[in-house]
Amino acid sequence: LARVEDTVMRPRGFTLLEVLVSLAIFAMTAVVLASAYINVLNAYDVVGRGNARDENVRFARSQLLAEPDRKKAEEGDDFDAGDGVQVKWHATIEPTTTADLFRVVFVCDLNDPKAATPRPPTTETFMLLRPTWSEGADTAKLRGDAKQRILELKKQLP
């Protein structure tokens, strides 16, 4: 014979303590996921600002490379990059011992009023072959010297 207690149906469900523990776990998980999402958004913003900065420096460098007049290239230029960002660039140009070859120190300064801390100017040094920047007498002398060195090297060959 079955006992009467076994046949009585007990109500099934979660206790109040179980519900509170599950809500606490859910809340902690939601906080962790939300903070991770905010960190991802901040990282995207930082990368986007870095790309914009690099793009502004590339544009300023292209202005330097497109300038046929050496004096204007040394003076540089400035332009508004949008969003209140001001870009100012200039260059120091020095001739080398090779005709039409110049050592260029390019300095580009971006003034971003939204930036928390101002960044130092970007400085690049490179060699540039630019015949339009050469002076006539200097170029002729350098080419003559190069021709003389080539002739001397030819004499040394068997």
> pLDDT for 116-149, tens place per residue?
788 899 999 999 998 888 876 677 777 787 788 8
CA 111-116-118 angle, to 5 degrees, is: 40
> pLDDT for 13-69, tens place per residue?
889 999 999 999 999 999 999 999 999 998 888 777 767 788 889 999 999 999 999
Residue 4, pLDDT > 60, answer no
Residue 2, pLDDT > 70, answer no
Q: What is d(CA 71, CA 93) in angstroms, rounded to the nearest whole number?
A: 9
> pLDDT for 61-118, tens place per residue?
999 999 999 999 999 999 998 878 899 999 999 998 888 889 999 999 988 877 778 8
Strand partners, 78: 88
pTM value surpassing 0.85: no
Spatial CB neighbours of 24, under 8 Å, sequence gap ≥ 6: none
